[in-house]
Amino acid sequence: MTELKSTISEENTLASKGYKLIKFLGEGAYAKVYLTEYSRDENKKSTLACKVIETAKAPKDFVVKFLPREIDVLIRLNHPHLIHVHSIFQRKTKYYIFMRYTENGDLLGYVLKNGCVSENQSRVWLRQLALGLQYLHELEITHRDIKSENVLLTANFNVKLSDFGFSRFCIDDDDQPILSETYCGSMSYAAPEILRGKPYLPKPTDLWSLGVVLFVMLNKSMPFDDTRMKKLYEQQMGKKYRFRSRVASVLSLECKSVVKHLLEPDPGLRYTSNQVIKSEWIAMDSRLTTLNAIEEAALNRAKEERRRLTESHKNLAKRQGDIWERTHRDSSYRILENDLKLTGSEQLTLAIRGYKIIKKINEGSYAKVYLSEYRNPKKNDRLVILACKVIDTNTAPKDFVKKFLPREIDMLIKLNHPHLVHTHSIFQRRYKYFIFLRYMENGDLLEYILQNGAVQEDQARIWTRQLSLAIQYMHELEIAHRDIKCENVLLTANKNAKLSDFGFARMCVDKKMKDVHSETFCGSLSYTAPEILHGFPYYPKPTDIWSLGIVVYVMLNRAMPFEDKHIKQLYQAQISSNWRFRSRYTDILSDNCKRLISLMLEPKYQNRIKIEQIISSEWIAMDSRLLEWTPQETLAYKKAKEERSHLQKKFESIELLKLEKETFLPEKSLVNNTLDATGSTSSWY
């Protein structure tokens, strides 16, 4: 038994609210559960379970991110097949979550003690869990940790889904779906799209986990070998599960069909909670085909709550076909609170190098951007205005710090092109990186379009050529950008376009100069190529062309070509080329312009137009001035080709050296034969 260490003050607080912790029941990663007695008067007592979370001992990520989500979800839920929360309160560093006590423990304990669950009982329990999930998903909440240990049994042997520590909302404030990136839950119950390591739609993963729970109930074993993740993933994708022979012979075909549809590796083909509830297997017991009064009332409440949520989002977002103006979007022009906290040592380091940070002007996921001044302290040159991107590695995710940040810095050091944002300097001070860049007076392209409307075709042609030359330069160096979007196209005082933000950039070849596939889902959903949404490894260069096509479309239409509310519908629209120009612009755009965008938004990457073809296209040639390269453009591309040639020669030299070593290294059999011929190895026989 684990004693709860509580102060007299905490015990008095509990007692004043009618609670008394009796004994320790169990513990999870960050919480302990206690049997609790609750009474408002001496005559009426009830038994509860109390989950105690001590934030002082829990990881910062859990306290800041997951705990608030769990509490936010718990206070919203009210369904007969979800664990009922009695009350929640906080005392100093401890959270006390009082819940209904379930007398018969969890489902895993029940199965281990009693063996396989009969098909009839499994049907009842699966329906109850599916109704709980249907309610959650209607509220746009996903559980993300469904497993047998989180299915609790009441005194009457009804099931209740519990533990919402990994739960989260599935949509944002604009009613847009949010992809999950967190690997959460137990590996044995994790869907293949989670194991793949890319952002995923969370609702279908709940149904996969429910399928594993059903299999465990019926079979008293896991469907897949989970000793190694790679093997587990391969078995999942190959549907390599089977029932024990004694179980398979007695299960109905309808039951096996539900298991099959829940353990479907393609999330788009997997059963939803509604399909489970309406399945032929559930209908085999006619009592289960209708909702009882409590179940029906809970679902109606969820639908009403969802309707109100949608209405509130509609009032906030003014779509009307245009690019929506987000009231909370950071503006390149708006002055934000200057919250950069620099130590005296950091301030001194900046001053010695001639830099002074003025005010915050923008921020992204892992970095904040500040307006800065620079004057060379040795030469007393004129004052230069810069932008300083500050990355605090203490607050950024480990994956970003170890993988993406080093890549970005490596790219910034390598790149030098008139249509890429120029890096002034980079230095590190303790856990902060300071990246000083050229300041772009006219903000980003999205801001420009929102303020000025659709871009004239002649101007769009100039900017498309500039961006294409920048991409050509990068691709010649075997670098893909992988996050091209309007927000990453910056405009100078002279209104020239420069591509920025290389946080997702990466090399396209390995040390042997062989093509490397990308597997990371990166960039913004609206600009993402169909081969990325397809979820398999992809060639990164063609995805840059697709994203550029979206940028050009947005410039000319002040709208996105595809609706991106749902990934599945977005993907279908992309591969069927289901897009068109807005009626007010289609008649004024040239055929050459329309043709080029169609070629850039070609769903098959093998047939998509190449960057060189864009630069030499008929649309670009409509302005003869754009066929001539400036000296800076010519020099940059020449240097890229030389660097590419240098890499190729370096690889060929290494390969030649290896070949020479192999040529002059005598084979063992030849050595043996020589020794045999001289008779000096008689002892070998």
> Which DSSP string corresponds to 532-544?
HHTTS-B-HHHHH
User: Taking CA 300 as the corner, what is the angle to CA 296 and CA 302, rounded to the nearest 5 degrees?
Assistant: 120
pLDDT in tens, 249-300: 999 999 999 999 999 999 989 999 999 999 999 999 999 999 999 999 999 9
Would you say the CATH fold of 334-441 matches that of 8-100?
Answer: yes
Query: Among candidates 387, 421, 389, 416, which has minimal Cα distance to 491?
Result: 421
CA distances from 619 to 474, 484, 560, 605 (A): 22, 21, 21, 21
Distance CA 436, CA 429 (A): 14
Contact 22, 40 (CB under 8 A): no
Q: Is 678's pLDDT higher than 60? A: no
Closest CA to 628 of 641, 618, 639, 615: 615
pLDDT of residue 200 exceeding 80: yes
Q: How does pLDDT run across 592-626, given as a tens digit for each residue?
A: 999 999 999 999 999 999 999 999 999 999 999 99
Residue 318 has pLDDT above 60, yes or no: no
DSSP string, 331-348: PSSSPBP------HHHHH
pTM over cut 0.75:
no
Residue 407: its pLDDT value, please?
84
Which secondary structure element, helix H or strand E, spans residue 598, and what is its range?
helix 591-600
Mean pLDDT lowest among 135-139, 464-468, 647-651, 675-679: 675-679
**107-309 belongs to which homologous superfamily?**
Transferase(Phosphotransferase) domain 1 (1.10.510.10)
CA distance linking residue 124 with residue 122, whole number of Å: 5
Q: What's the rounded Cα separation, in Å, for the pair 220 and 247?
A: 10
pLDDT tens for each residue of 22-62: 999 888 777 899 999 998 766 778 899 999 998 888 877 77
The pairs formed by 35-44 with CB atoms below 8 angstroms and a separation of 24 or more are 35/101, 36/98, 36/101, 38/86, 38/98
* 384-392 and 367-374 beta bridge pairing: antiparallel
CB 204 within 8 A of CB 273: no
Residues 6+ away with beta carbon under 8 Å from 271: 207, 258, 261, 262, 264, 279
Helix (H, G, I), strand (E, B) or coil at 218: helix
In the chain, where the domains are located: 8-100, 107-309, 334-441, 443-628, 646-678
Per-residue model confidence as pLDDT tens digits over 73-125: 888 889 999 998 888 888 878 889 999 999 999 999 999 999 999 999 999 99
Q: Which CATH superfamily is domain 8-100 in?
A: Phosphorylase Kinase; domain 1 (3.30.200.20)
Question: Is 106 marked active-site?
Answer: no
Superfamily of chain region 334-441:
Phosphorylase Kinase; domain 1 (3.30.200.20)
Q: Which of the following is catalytic: 483, 501, 544, 564?
A: 483
Alpha helices in 17-66 (DSSP H): 60-61
- Residue showing tokens 């007299």: 8
Q: What pLDDT is attached to residue 658?
A: 63
Work out the pLDDT band at 485, boundaries 50, 70, 90: very high
Please check whether residue 385 is in contact with residue 370, taking contact to mean a CB–CB distance below 8 angstroms.
no
Inform me whether the pLDDT recorded for 70 exceeds 60. Answer: yes
Strands 159-161 and 151-153: antiparallel
Task: Write down the pLDDT at residue 420.
Answer: 97
Residues 6+ apart with CB under 8 A from 585: 454, 556, 557
Is the pLDDT at 220 greater than 70? The verdict is yes
Spatial distance between the Cα atoms of 309 and 497, rounded to a whole number of angstroms: 39
CATH code at 443-628: 1.10.510.10
- Residue 51 among known ligand-binding residues: yes
* pLDDT number for residue 312: 59
What does pLDDT average to over the chain?
86
Segment 161-171 shows an average pLDDT of 88
CA distances from 119 to 282, 579, 621, 629 (A): 11, 49, 71, 74
Q: 96 or 381: whose pLDDT is higher?
A: 96
Helices (H), 115-228: 119-138, 192-195, 202-219
